Chain A
């Protein structure tokens, strides 16, 4: 079964607006990652945040992590048409774990 659940399942915003996606998970984690998937293609790693970090930035991306609530959020600022994709959070349970567990994703559409 999947560890994470993203919210909302789908999001449609105007180009230039900010997009926020949330992820909740069930067990304690070592790190949480966000991936992007364009239609029908493989996934691209966006950003990783460790369990002892609370916020991380990368370009137009901002990720927060609240381990007490077992939740994370991904903010994309100044959205562009090219940001249209599905976004997945994935968790690594402990540092020696072999696999990451994906959530069900948020489908983001950017309207021109």
Chain B
């Protein structure tokens, strides 16, 4: 069984550029979550999908952020016109909707905006 995978693991980009991250969840998991984590803080919820439907978005998710899960399997998170404040670790997690709430996390994508 492969766990949650994320690609790339690191991304350095210049301010104003667009970036896209990919997450592959555990195959039988129907829920997929995106979080952002800055140094010394816990993960902050961004958005989540159940199958292909995006059911909740945080107010943290500005209109420069968009997430998709087109076939209910992998997901992408795109950030347009990146800003230095977007520098963070972006974590993806998956779970079963029927589960108790425990989530399984990927290794994260560390974004640095210069």
Contacts and interface: CB of A to CB of B under 8 A. Distances in A.
Interface in A87-112: 88, 90, 92, 97-105
A104 B37 CA distance: 10
B100 A48 contact: yes
Contacts of B40: 104-105
Q: On chain B, which size bracket covers the interface?
A: 20 to 34
Nearest to A92: B101
A90 B43 CA distance: 10
Contact of A105 (B41, B48, B110): B41
A40 interface: yes
Contacts of B33: 99
Contacts of A92: 100-101
Interface in A1-25: 2, 4
B54 to A, nearest CB: 11
Interface string A63-93: 0000000000000000000000000101010
A36 B106 CA distance: 13
Contacts of B4: 42
Nearest to A30: B101
B42 A102 contact: yes
Given A2-B42, A105-B41, A41 B107 contact: yes
A45 interface: yes
B110 A40 contact: yes
Interface in B47-102: 48, 50, 55-56, 89, 91, 93, 100-102
Contacts of B44: 2, 102
A44 B105 contact: yes
Contacts of B42: 2, 4, 88, 90, 102-105
Contacts of B93: 43
B112 interface: no
Identify the 4 closest CB pairs spanning chains A and B, nearest first. A102-B42, A42-B105, A92-B101, A43-B105
5 contacts: A33-B102, A41-B108, A90-B42, A100-B45, A101-B45
